[in-house]
Amino acid sequence: MSQTGGPYDFVYVDIDIPEGMTINEWRERRAAERIAIEAAAHEERRRRRARAIRRWLVAPPAAVRRPWLRSRAANG
């Protein structure tokens, strides 16, 4: 009769580490990939913000009624 594993037993079904690579090398590669992905996402957000700001700056002013201001003569 086979026994089931205890609460701290585990079995690797599939691993991401390529054959012949150490865990430290794999971690370094994953860290470098993550940094590159985050840098690309940051650059894309920066470009999107710049595009939005440029659109806002060149947008034609909306037709808004100007408030009428009374001019008062300065008392000297």
pLDDT 10s digits, 32-76: 999 999 999 999 999 999 999 998 888 676 777 777 776 666 565
Higher pLDDT, 28 or 16: 28
Domains: count for the chain: 1
Residue 2 has pLDDT above 70, yes or no: no
Q: Is 72 domain-assigned?
A: no
Asked if residue 47 is part of any domain, the answer here is yes
* HSE (side-chain half, CA atoms, 13 Å) at 13: 0
pLDDT of 1 > 50? The answer is no
Q: Which residue has the higher pLDDT, 6 or 17?
A: 17
Q: Within 10 Å of residue 48's Cβ, how many Cβ atoms?
A: 10
Is residue 69 one of the residues assigned to a domain?
Answer: no
48 within domain boundaries: yes
Domain residue limits at 31: 19-59
Contacts of 16 (CB under 8 A, 6+ apart): 26
State residue 45's pLDDT score: 97
Inside any domain, residue 52: yes
In a domain, 66, yes or no: no
Instruction: Tell me if 6 is assigned to some domain.
Output: no
This prediction has a pTM of 0.52
